[in-house]
Copies of this chain bind each other. A is one copy, B any other.
Amino acid sequence: MQPITGSGVAKIVDSGNPEFKVGDIVYGTTGWEEYSLITNPQGLFKIQHTDVPLSYYTGILGMPGLTAYAGFYEVCSPKKGEYVFVSAASGAVGQLVGQFAKLMGCYVVGSAGSKEKVDLLKSKFGFDDAFNYKEECDLNAALKRYFPQGIDIYFENVGGKTLDAVLLNMRVRGRIAVCGMISQYNLDPPDGITNLMHIVYGRVRIEGFSVSDYVDQYSKFLDFMLPHIREGKIVYVEDIAEGLESGPFALVGLFSGCNVGKQVVLVARE
């Protein structure tokens, strides 16, 4: 049986491939296991910069980081002073989008599912404001409170009722970058979205995207991120589950929002 795979960091213990030597630290698609046999090294990259936590290469310096970078800078076409809303804002991608938006000079508000996460958004990630969507019985009213002037950019991670409320609050020529719709993946049928007409009224663009279309930007992305991380201008929060055996619980917990920050499973320290 094939093991479940995921985005992992690993040390090469044996290699028949001249590009990867014993002792090299790599990141990419690895198995959920202590030792992985990787026969297709195309999805594997050697880590050059080890002065940051290696787990960052599963997140802020890996595909989630590049997702936030490409999704915000390329898909959202942001401009200084614009109003940005991020859902699942304390997650691996959302926390970065909010920080990119602040670096760009935008006003940014995030939503998350607990007081702890909301506090983190404001105190640690520099969001201008944040709210707990579980405490809002009327999401449209909440968005009108946080964005009386409307939303220019919505970075979509959740879908469903949040998206439907956002559509009522988009400004003319607003953009919605659709990274994911985690609230909908396990719903059958999914929530019906009733406010799409507003994309005509406001000439709004909604665009789904995938990080796989932006891998050629990885080295530019790394050059941008590393100095910001070293200088503390971009911070990152991980939720580390210790031990391979904690993996299944950590995975399932994502769908009910148990994690605070990027969920990482620590298989081994060395």
Q: Which residue on B lies nearest to A185, using beta carbons?
A: B197
Q: List, in ascending order, chain B residues with CB within 8 A of A195's CB.
A: 190
Q: List, in ascending order, chain B residues with CB within 8 A of A203's CB.
A: 207-210, 213
Q: For the complex, what is the distance from the CA of A193 to the CA of B193, rounded to whole Å? A: 5
Q: For the complex, what is the distance from the CA of A210 to the CA of B172, rounded to whole Å? A: 11
Asked if B196 and A159 make an inter-chain contact with CB atoms under 8 angstroms apart, the answer reads: yes
Which of A196, A201, A210 has the most C-beta atoms of chain B within 10 angstroms of its own C-beta?
A: A196
Q: For the complex, what is the distance from the CA of A181 to the CA of B12, rounded to whole Å? A: 56
Asked if A200 and B179 make an inter-chain contact with CB atoms under 8 angstroms apart, the answer reads: yes
Q: For the complex, what is the distance from the CA of A228 to the CA of B17, rounded to whole Å? A: 61
Interface residues on A, range: 20 to 34
**Copies per complex of this chain:** 2
Q: For the complex, what is the distance from the CA of A200 to the CA of B197, rounded to whole Å? A: 20
Asked if A197 and B181 make an inter-chain contact with CB atoms under 8 angstroms apart, the answer reads: yes
A77 CB, min distance to chain B CBs, angstroms: 12
A245 contacts chain B at the CB level, 8 A cutoff: no
Asked if B193 and A181 make an inter-chain contact with CB atoms under 8 angstroms apart, the answer reads: no
A189 contacts chain B at the CB level, 8 A cutoff: yes
Asked if B209 and A206 make an inter-chain contact with CB atoms under 8 angstroms apart, the answer reads: no
User: Could you mark each residue 182-216 of chain A with 1 if its beta carbon is under 8 Å from any beta carbon of chain B, else 0?
Assistant: 00110001111111111111111111111001000
Q: Which residue on B lies nearest to A190, using beta carbons?
A: B194
5 extra interchain contacts, Cβ-Cβ under 8 A, other than A199-B208, A200-B208, A203-B207? A159-B197, A163-B196, A179-B200, A190-B195, A203-B210
A–B Cβ pairs within 8 angstroms, 22 of them = A178-B199, A178-B200, A185-B197, A190-B194, A190-B195, A190-B196, A191-B192, A191-B194, A192-B193, A192-B194, A193-B193, A193-B194, A199-B206, A199-B207, A200-B209, A200-B210, A202-B208, A203-B208, A204-B207, A205-B205, A205-B206, A205-B208
